[in-house]
Structure formats: structure tokens, C-alpha cells
Amino acid sequence: MEELQKRLQETLKVLTPQELSSFRIILKTVDEEPRVSPLQLELQGQTVSGLASLLAKHYYLPAAPRVLTKVLKRLHRADLLPRWQSDPTADSPVIPRKILKRSFDCVESELDCYDLSGKRKAFLMCVKKDRPGSDQDIQRMGHWLHQCQFESTLCIDPDKKELMDKLTSFRDGLNEMKDEIGCCVVTLMSHGEKGFIKMKDGARVSLEDVFEMFNNKNCPGLHEKPKIFIIQACRGEKRDNGIETDDEPMQLDDISEKRRLPTFSDYFIIYPTQADHVALRHSRTGSVMIEKMIDVYKQYGNKWHIVDFFTKVNNRVVRAEFYIHEEPIKVSLVMESTLTRFVYF
């Protein structure tokens, strides 16, 4: 038992404070008898050593590795699974994934992670007409969503009515789902202007109308679930030519009582450019933001909170060289968030 406890502690030490918080929440629901009670977790599982001891004493072998494997899968820490899918007492090191360290990794945070163990649903719309490079965007976004375990609904070259009908059907499906929902991603790729996206016939669709469809009033199925909107469209006609510089480049707990929520909460919206400005899309390689998203994902995977992920993407977008009629154009991504927890896909 001492050896098992030691190995458990080695694995738990790799988890961030946010992941440990989610670990305790998930552990309460694991279908392995006898279940660890909330009281046991409160009294014994608030530290890494205490949690390791609780798991070792409560489940023994072979149940403890089996329980740990179930929780790690729901945490999406597949990098730690090989250690427990072989001999759990073998003398082999735990090799964690590389995580960017930040100050809050060293102390307990009041925030924890959204539980994304339920179904992950995505809506992917793209206007291809007069947008060369769109096929590459569709392929890249589809692959990224699949890798992040989303079930996608495609909507290609719709008119305004078709888009709103399909979005309504998608939203209603979320509300009617009997299975637990983990997260929703809505990706809209088209021409656009300030506050609107344009359909293949030039008809305008208000982004505010789209966002409102998924708020807490209209989409109760997504209460306290992250709603991610990825908008790849111009927001105006302004062009930022950039400036020359001499600087060197910088490399859930269950709550039974009724509570009130703001009408809009748990949103994360990413725009490809500043307000009133054009977005960047290459006729051969597709949209710059989508391209950089995939580059960052290929290099780092799902190791970061979504805000950190898009901060890294923005770092590459800002450095991208792009020209329109031989004039240099620079853009910066814009993030808007009402998230209340961390999002790790």
C-alpha cells in the first residue's frame, strides 16, 4: 500500500491546482464501489498526500489504478494514462506533459475548471462564395474540433434564413438533450462588417442575435457551460498598416439550491481583428487566424486554458506578414469573455 500511495502522489503532484479541484469533483461520481464520500474528501483529500492516501486506502489494488484512470480520462490527461495502464507499482517515472507555468500554479486558486466530461457540440458555418481559401479553413477547423472531441454540425454557404433555422435547430437540440452537455463551440466564417456577418447573397446577420440565441434565458441546456464563439470575418474596412519599430521581437461542486444567473455568462468570443478593421485571409492558404490556431495546436495540443491558447495564437497572428495591394496589413485578435472558470479541452 505504501508503494501504491507513493505512485499515486507522484501522479497527483503533476496536476495543476485547477485540475486537482476538478479531480475531487469527478471522483465523487466515478462508478466504482464503494464511492468516496464528500465528507471523506473534505476531511482527507484536500492535499495531494491526503488524496493519495485516501485513494490507496479506500480502493486498494487493482481498483485504485482503475479509478485513477477513469478520472484522468475525464480530465483529458491522457499523457498520464500509460503509467497506470501497465503495472502500477513498477518503478517507472511519471512524465508529465509540458505546461506553461504561471504564478497561480504555485497556490490554490479560487477558480476551478469547467467539467467538460459531457457531450461536446459544435456548429461550423462557412460562406465559401467569393472567399478563396475557405476550403482550407473548413478542413482545418473540422480537424481541430474532431481532435478536441466535438461532434460537429456543418452549414456551408447558407442564406440568412437557412443559417438562422439551422442555428435554432442546433440550439433546440442542446436544450432537448438527455445526456449531460460539456461545452458548445460556434464557428462562423464569412465576409462581415461591424456587428454583422454576411451570407452568400450579401444578406446581413447580426452577431448579437446569434449570441443571444445561446444565453441563459434561451439556452438553459448550457447553463454554467462554456459557450465558445470563433468569428472569422471582417469587422469593417479599416486597414492597419502597422508601424516600424526598433524594438527586438519578443519571443464543480454540486449545488442543489436555486440560484440566479446573469442573462449572459460563460461566454468566450474570439474575433480575428480589431473593431472596424478587415480580417486576413489568403486566397491559397486560408484565414490567418485559423492557420495559426492549427499551428499552435499541432505544437502544444490542449495544454492551455483557452484564453492562454488564443493569446499564443495572437502572438503569431501579430507577427504574420500580410500584404493587400503591396501594402502591409497588421491585425490583432480580440477576445471577449464572461467565463467564470478555466476551459481546458
152's enclosing H/E stretch is: strand 151-156
CATH 3.40.50.1460 segments of the chain: 119-242+256-337
CATH 1.10.533.10 segments of the chain: 2-90
pLDDT for residue 159 is more than 60: yes
Q: Which tens digit of pLDDT belongs to each residue from 106-132?
A: 334 445 889 898 999 999 999 999 999
Which of the following is catalytic: 76, 155, 184, 191?
A: 191
Inter-residue contact 97 to 15 (CB < 8 Å)? no
Q: What is the pLDDT of residue 36?
A: 75
- Return the residue matching grid coordinates 461550423: 124
- Angle between helices 48-74 and 2-14 in degrees, nearest 10: 70
Q: Which tens digit of pLDDT belongs to each residue from 125-137?
A: 999 999 999 999 9
Percent of the chain with pLDDT over 70: 86
pLDDT for residue 161 is more than 90: yes
Instruction: Please give the CATH topology (third level) of the domain spanning 119-242+256-337.
Output: Rossmann fold (3.40.50)
- Mention every residue, 6+ apart, whose C-beta is less than 8 A from residue 8: 51, 52, 55, 56, 64, 68
Q: Report how far residue 126's alpha carbon sits from residue 138's, in angstroms, rounded to the nearest whole number.
A: 7
pLDDT for residue 198 is more than 50: yes
pTM of the complete model beyond 0.75: no
Which of the following is catalytic: 126, 234, 277, 305?
A: 234
Q: Which tens digit of pLDDT belongs to each residue from 247-266?
A: 443 333 343 445 677 888 89
Beta-bridged to residue 192, according to DSSP, are 197
Q: Tell me which of 90-99, 193-202, 220-229, 278-287 is least confident.
A: 90-99
Q: What is the pLDDT of residue 89?
A: 45
pLDDT for residue 104 is more than 90: no
* Nearest Cα to Cα of residue 101 among 308, 240, 277: 308
Exposure class string for 214-236: b at 16+ Cβ within 10 A, else e:
bbbeebebbeebbbbbbbbbbbb
Q: What is the pLDDT of residue 111?
A: 57
Q: What is the pLDDT of residue 220?
A: 94
Active site residue 219: no
Active site residue 234: yes
Question: CATH assignment of 2-90, given 1.10.287.540, 3.10.180.10, 1.10.533.10, 3.30.70.980?
Answer: 1.10.533.10
Q: Please state, in angstroms and as integers, the Cα–Cα distance from residue 296 to each residue in 19, 221, 309, 313, following that order.
A: 22, 31, 8, 6
Q: Which tens digit of pLDDT belongs to each residue from 270-289?
A: 999 998 899 999 988 999 99
